[in-house]
Chain A
Amino acid sequence: MDYLRAFIVGGTICLIGQILMDKTSLTPARILVSFVTAGVILGALGIYDPIFEYGKAGASVPLPGFGYALAKGTIKEVQQNGLIGAFTGGIKATSAGIAAAIFFGYLMAIIFNPKAKS
């Protein structure tokens, strides 16, 4: 059941992205930026919580989930540590993803070379 929900929620978020890509002149980079920012806002307003509860990985793996984690982490840290939490909370909550992307990115760049497309 988890899997079906993750599939539907995750698939729907990607579907929205595809519609934006095909029907507007937004570039993929702009869509990613809007998705993350939308995740932050929806997270802050508490709208993303039920989506996450329902979709689990389907809501956390797409980029709005990244924004959601940023917002949740910030709010939690502000509750615990006051204003400085606004600066520490977001990155703390998403630290694993960011550090992994930098580290594996570097690693892959050492190991592999880009190939021509066919």
Chain B
Amino acid sequence: MKTLRMEGDCMEHTNEERLKKEFQDMVKRSAPSSNFLKDCLAAFVVGGLICVIGQFVMNFFINMGIPKEEVGYYVATIMVFLGAFLTGIGVYDNIGKFAGAGSIVPITGFSNSIVAPAMEFKREGFVFGVGAKMFVIAGPVLVYGISSSVIVGIIYYIMNLFK
């Protein structure tokens, strides 16, 4: 282990690991705490409101006579469009700054995470820019969501074999 040569004689021979540890504790104390209660309230209210809009869309299509199993498609499409549009006109990032998880967790946030890199990397072209970078943030969501659902399907199939 190399000795850390933090100058000033009293620290010259100090063990490097202890010095690091001391500093990391110092950093923990120094970090300004994020405004936790305000963050939580904003996330709750904005997240809740986005779901209220979703509920409104759902009720609207149910009243139009769309069958219950299909209404989810309509809600998803409309909400994804809203998230995409608000991202396009440059509003969603400001909502996100205020609401945090409140606008990341709803499906509008999923849409934002696809649209934002698509717009950002347009300058690198439409194939390797827009096309490839679109899933740079949302890709893992699909990978883990879909893979785990396949596993669920296989387990379910096997369990049914033994029934």
A and B touching (C-beta < 8 Å)? Answer: yes
Binding site for B on A (CB under 8 A): 2-3, 6-23, 28-29, 31-33, 35-37, 39-41, 43-44, 55-58, 60-63, 65-67, 69-71, 73-75, 77-79, 82-83, 85-87, 89-91, 93-98, 100-102, 104-115, 117
- Which residues of chain B are within 8 angstroms of A115 by Cβ–Cβ distance? 90
**Chain A residue at smallest Cβ distance from B58:** A57
On chain A, the residues within 8 Å of B85 by CB distance are: 104, 108
Q: Which residues of B contact A41 (CB under 8 A)?
A: 148, 152
Chain A binding surface, main DSSP class: helix
Inter-chain CA distance A2–B54, complex, in Å, is: 11
Q: Which of A19, A29, A86 contacts B40 (CB 8 A)?
A: A19
Q: How far is the CA of A2 from the CA of B62 in the complex (A)?
A: 13
Which of B36, B44, B118, B156 makes the CB contact (< 8 A) with A105?
B118
Beyond A60-B75, A61-B54, whether A109 also contacts B110 by CB under 8 A is no
For A11, list chain B residues within 8 Å (CB): 43-45, 47-48, 51, 102
Establish whether residues A21 and B47, one from each chain, have CB atoms under 8 Å apart when the complex forms: no
Provide the bound-state CA to CA distance between A23 and B59, in Å: 36
- CB-CB under 8 A from A98, the residues of chain B are 142
A21 close to B101 (CB less than 8 A): yes
CB within 8 Å for A74 and B149 given contacts A32-B110, A35-B105, A115-B90: yes
